[in-house]
């Protein structure tokens, strides 16, 4: 073997390793965390009772309007104007539809782009009430918690936005840039009558917002295992969504004389093929920012991995792919959620069907995701197509962490959750932001409330509740955000 070549290779390896270690060591030193004084949050006392009043209004949304209580949805508008009299008198209210409330707070400087703050006041059904330890629409405050459906998702942010505006109006504050509060009443069923109506009205008025803030990631406590401090997960991007149906035809008849492969068997093999060959993992702008922002707060091995993705990506990819939560950060996912075949045990299925719920990573289109699944299942004799035409959403663009919106959100996090690290994040669930892509230049998704793993089960599950401290911190966040704008 040529010794100069070996020496060159060895020297290059040493230099690369040394460079990677230097990059890891060069991370800025994190600022030490501190906690809010308990007395600071007393300024927001009372907001929890207003949240309780809103929780008691049973604004359960359904895909069929016939199942909904129109009077309950209408009473939200009345209740908001009653609870926030200054906002009712001084701000400009527009009801863009039966499920759409738009409130404008005109700014003093018309040259500045406005900002849109969003929330939704509809909720999912409570499900089996036997699983609840209290009334699903209680609204009571017990042991320091506001109880009931919508207390986290997302009546708390709606109340916090309005409470912050009311407090600032009391102080005689006027924002420099105009603020729009956009409240939809059908986010849980797609936002067609709520957010879409509001966005259409804003477009008619020629509004082009600097940024929009909607529900999103929480201040996660103990959820990201390799970070000791709480992490404020600010969604700068949102996955696309499509349901893909995989089908196969077969010969009907008695199951006593089956063919070699039934329609159900073909679909089963197709499902297995999709699961065994997941979409490739990719480093997105969001993921790179997420890992980079965490570097100063993790132990040296993680810091080294996150600082040198040009050589450590295979290891990072493997580590992230092992957990469902982190695997979804790096790839488009396809989850088989529904299966159907014969109507009876002893009858061969004439047709079998499976449905994949597909969440699409930014940079991949709905069409590309569908075509990949089509190729995979065709090898096994099945076909794929849209399960519901017209119900697919493209992944939303990734918003910059250098934008004034992200900086303003980070500032408000520092004020209301000073112990937390603010990091960009890929939001996996669908929100109303998809309707505003032509209205806002940047879109962010963040719910300024602390959550532990035990809190997550209450969202769309039984026993949803939120701490009084969380409600008050949420108010503080929005007040500081509005002041900084």
Active site residue 122: yes
Which candidate in 48, 122, 215, 479 is catalytic? 122
* Residue 337 CB coordination number (10 Å): 10
Query: Could you tell me where the DSSP H helices lie in 84-194?
Result: 85-90, 155-170
- As to burial, measured by CB atoms within 10 angstroms (0-12 exposed, 13-18 middle, 19+ buried), residue 484 is middle
Q: Quick check: helix, strand or coil at residue 231?
A: strand
Active site residue 247: no
Q: Tell me the two tokens of residue 372.
A: 């990949």
3-class DSSP assignment, residue 430: coil
What is residue 207's three-state secondary structure? coil
Q: Are 38 and 134 contacting, i.e. CB atoms less than 8 angstroms apart?
A: no
Give the 3-state secondary structure of residue 425.
Answer: strand
Active-site pick, 187, 238, 455, 479 = 187
Which residues does residue 92 pair with via DSSP β-bridges, in sequence order? 104
Residue located via tokens 């309707």? 435
Q: What is the 3-state secondary structure (H, E, C) of 74-105?
A: HHHHHHHHHHCHHHHHHCEEEEEECCEEEEEE
- Could you list the active site residues? 122, 187
């Amino acid at each position: 073997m040529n010794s100069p070549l070996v020496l060159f290779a060895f020297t290059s390896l040493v230099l690369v390793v040394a460079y990677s270690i230097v990059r890891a060591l060069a991370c800025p030193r994190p600022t030490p965390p501190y906690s809010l004084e308990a007395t600071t949050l007393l300024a927001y006392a009372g907001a929890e009772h207003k949240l309780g009043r809103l929780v008691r209004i049973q604004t359960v949304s359904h895909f069929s309007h016939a199942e909904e209580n129109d009077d309950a949805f209408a009473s939200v508008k009345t209740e908001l104007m009653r609870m926030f009299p200054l906002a009712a008198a001084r701000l400009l209210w527009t009801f863009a539809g039966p499920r759409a409330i738009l409130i404008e707070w005109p700014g003093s400087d018309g040259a500045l782009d406005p900002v849109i703050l969003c929330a939704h006041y509809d909720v999912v059904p409570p499900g089996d009430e036997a699983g609840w330890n209290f009334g699903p629409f209680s609204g009571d405050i017990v042991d320091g918690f506001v109880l009931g459906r919508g207390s986290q998702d997302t009546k708390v942010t709606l109340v916090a936005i309005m409470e912050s505006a009311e407090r600032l109006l009391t102080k005689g504050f006027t924002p420099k840039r105009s603020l729009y509060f956009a409240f939809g009443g059908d986010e849980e069923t797609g936002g067609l009558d709520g957010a879409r109506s509001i966005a259409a009205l804003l477009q008619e008025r020629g509004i082009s917002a600097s940024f929009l803030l909607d529900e999103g990631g929480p201040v996660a406590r103990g959820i990201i295992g390799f970070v000791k401090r709480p992490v404020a997960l600010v969604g700068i991007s949102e996955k696309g969504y499509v349901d893909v149906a995989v089908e196969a035809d077969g010969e009907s008849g008695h199951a006593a004389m089956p063919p070699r492969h039934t329609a159900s068997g073909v679909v089963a093999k197709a499902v297995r093929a999709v699961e065994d060959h997941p979409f490739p993992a990719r480093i997105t702008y969001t993921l790179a920012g997420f890992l980079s922002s965490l570097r100063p707060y993790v132990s040296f091995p993680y810091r080294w991995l996150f600082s040198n993705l040009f050589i450590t990506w295979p290891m990072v990819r493997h580590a992230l792919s092992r957990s469902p939560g982190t695997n979804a950060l790096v790839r488009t996912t396809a989850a088989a959620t529904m299966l159907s075949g014969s109507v009876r045990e002893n009858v061969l299925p004439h047709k079998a069907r499976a449905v994949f719920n597909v969440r699409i990573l930014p940079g991949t289109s709905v069409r590309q995701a569908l075509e990949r699944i089509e190729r995979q299942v065709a090898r096994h004799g099945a076909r794929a197509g849209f399960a519901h035409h017209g119900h697919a959403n493209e992944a939303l663009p990734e918003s910059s962490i250098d934008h004034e919106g992200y900086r303003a959100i980070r500032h408000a996090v520092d004020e209301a959750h000073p112990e937390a690290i603010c990091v960009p994040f890929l939001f996996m669930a669908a929100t109303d932001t998809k309707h505003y892509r032509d209205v806002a230049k940047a879109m962010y998704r963040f719910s300024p409330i602390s959550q532990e793993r035990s809190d997550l089960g209450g969202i769309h599950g039984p026993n949803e509740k939120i701490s009084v401290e969380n409600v008050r911190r949420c108010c503080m966040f929005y007040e500081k955000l509005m002041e900084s704008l």
